[in-house]
Amino acid sequence: MTKTLIAENISKIYGSRNNQTLALDRFSFEVHSGEFLGIMGPSGSGKSTLLNVISTIDTPTSGRILYEDTDISSIKKQALADFRRDHLGFIFQDFNLLDTLTVKENILLPLAIGKVPPMEIKTRVDVAAKLLGISDILDKYPTEISGGQKQRTAAARAMINRPKLILADEPTGALDSKSSQALLESMRNLNNSQNATILMVTHDPYAASYCDRIIFIKDGKTFTELYNDGNRKSFYNRIISTLGALGGGINDLL
């Protein structure tokens, strides 16, 4: 299997000299092309920080991140913008929708600067909206829809340019169980049909049970990892007991 993403000893320190937080502590991992990887861990363990440095929104204090052999922790601004546009889909913890655009316009935003023809854009928006159950709110504005609908809009936007790498921070956090299942199924489909690599941060053991592998993070370091053996129920049970051993993780839900 080819490795698409490699992090080597990345650390992230926030703050200034007298008030520092070590959010990532020499964290390393390798992600295979087409892998659906879950990231779990207690609140404050560094999960969002990890996604932010991989997405190039933030830079690590030290260490390297390689994406298909390119060191993305040190490439230049324009190359970074190209990398994000051509390879990345991001579902943020706080949705990040633009309030002045409709749901439809938010979804097609990543395609607006590309070469995809208008008819193709329309088809893609319709397919994504149907998949995520938001076809009837396409003309509304973000301020007029619910948190779950916002989350599904953000998911549709992340998938619209068929990215090779999708980074999702708590994508099911604001969803009811039905929408959550729909989103996870569509991520799984994208993963299977387009061989998209997915990194998903989640607190939800059910959402995590869709993954091929889960890395558990504690204090900015890998605590342990689990592989999906193909049996959802037993994988779910192993996730629950690992969260118990990790401490804090499952209690964050309650």
Ligand X SMILES: Nc1ncnc2c1ncn2[C@@H]1O[C@H](COP(=O)(O)OP(=O)(O)OP(=O)(O)O)[C@@H](O)[C@H]1O
Cβ closest to ligand X, residue 49 vs residue 172: 49
**Mask 20-49, x = binds Mg ion (CB under 5 A)?**
----------------------------x-
Tokens of 221: 């370091």
In the complex with ligand X, the residue whose CB is nearer, 48 or 186, is: 48
Listed residue (188, 120, 128, 177) closest to 153, CA to CA: 128
User: Among residues 54, 51, 45, 6, which one has the least CA distance to residue 28?
Assistant: 6
Determine the Cα–Cα distance for residues 206 and 190; give it in Å rounded to an integer: 19
Interface region with ligand X, contact rule CB under 6 A, candidates 1-9, 42-50, 132-140, 226-234: 42-50
Residue 251 corresponds to which tokens in the numbers above? Answer: 């209690």
Helix (H) or strand (E) holding 177: helix 177-194
How buried is residue 86: exposed, middle or buried, by Cβ count under 10 Å (0-12/13-18/19+)? exposed
Which residue from 10, 23, 54, 137 is in contact with ligand X, where contact means CB under 6 A?
23
User: Measured from the CB of residue 70, what is the shortest distance to ligand X in angstroms?
Assistant: 24
Does 49 bind ligand X (CB under 6 A)? Our answer is yes
Stretch that binds ligand X, among 43-51, 119-127, 130-138, 160-168 (CB under 6 A): 43-51
Binding site for ligand X (CB under 6 A): 14-15, 21, 23, 41, 43-49
Binding site for Mg ion (CB under 5 A): 48
